[in-house]
Amino acid sequence: MLELQNISFGVDTDAGKLEIIDDVSLTVADGSFTVITGPNGGGKSTLAKLIMGIEKPTSGKIIYNGEDITPLSVTERAKKGIGYAFQQPPRFKGLTVRRLLSLAAGATLPEDECCSYLTGVGLCSKDYLNREMDASLSGGEAKRIEIATLMARNLGLAIFDEPEAGIDLWSFSMLVKSFRAMSSGRHNSVLVISHQERIMDLADNMIVIADGRLKNQGTKEEVLPTLMGEFNQECDFRGKENADGKA
């Protein structure tokens, strides 16, 4: 189980201290599929980075399986079974997709196993195994390979930051299928930052983050209906359109 206790994260700017995450407490139960959603710039990615250890909170505690992991490094958290798929995956000159998957798995993977992970994210494996994870890959391709690196691991908690971004409509169904399999498969808990209804549909726990704060948490039946109403009001142009009587 993952528990965030009063997590805050701020940065110093010219205009003073900016709170990106403000006193967020939440729990992610074992075996759950949790979707974090909310407006852009609300602090979702920062929250994911805090859980992975890429950023350190200014205050608060992160408890994972009963242990305070707040002081632990990225490497130590990874060894405890936490994994993170970047929203914008870094590129590596000279590192093949096959090697990257093997590094993720922590052992040299047989070809058929690599292929099955790539197929799972909608890539034709024979075209990609020996390709380098460099700038020659399109954004969508790199993104799918990034997701595959998490599939190659046995994780207690798998975090995906907007896995759907840059993925074409045709591959999206395949991806949803893979996430569905994941939620009942090898990873114990899955935490996905997403704006996609079809991914939210998989959730048994939903968290809404806006302005760095926890706005809502509950089942999708409880949270989904409140989403549209809440953010309509924050959306200026939509308000104006409605006032003009246009659709």
Stretch that binds another protein, among 18-26, 79-87, 110-118, 207-215 (CB under 8 A): 79-87
The yes or no reply on residue 17 touching another protein (CB under 8 A) is no
Kindly state the smallest distance separating residue 105's Cβ from another protein, in Å.
8
In order, the DSSP letters of the chain are -EEEEEEEEEEEETTEEEEEEEEEEEEE-TT-EEEEE--TTSSHHHHHHHHHTSS--SEEEEEETTEE-TT--HHHHHHTTEEEE-SSPPP-TT-BHHHHHHHHHTSPPPHHHHHHHHHHTT--HHHHTTSBSSTTS-HHHHHHHHHHHHHTS--SEEEEESTTTT--HHHHHHHHHHHHHHHTSS-SEEEEE---HHHHTT-SEEEEEETTEEEEEE-HHHHHHHHHHHHHTT-HHHHHHHHTT--
Number of residues that bind another protein (CB under 8 A): 24
Determine which residue in the list 86, 117, 160, 179 makes contact with another protein, applying CB under 8 A. 86
With respect to another protein, which residue has the nearer C-beta, 66 or 94? 94
Residues 133-152 contacting another protein, CB under 8 A: 149
Determine which residue in the list 63, 103, 165, 176 makes contact with another protein, applying CB under 8 A. 103
Binding site for another protein (CB under 8 A): 52, 54, 73-75, 78-79, 83-84, 86, 88-95, 99, 103-104, 106, 149, 153
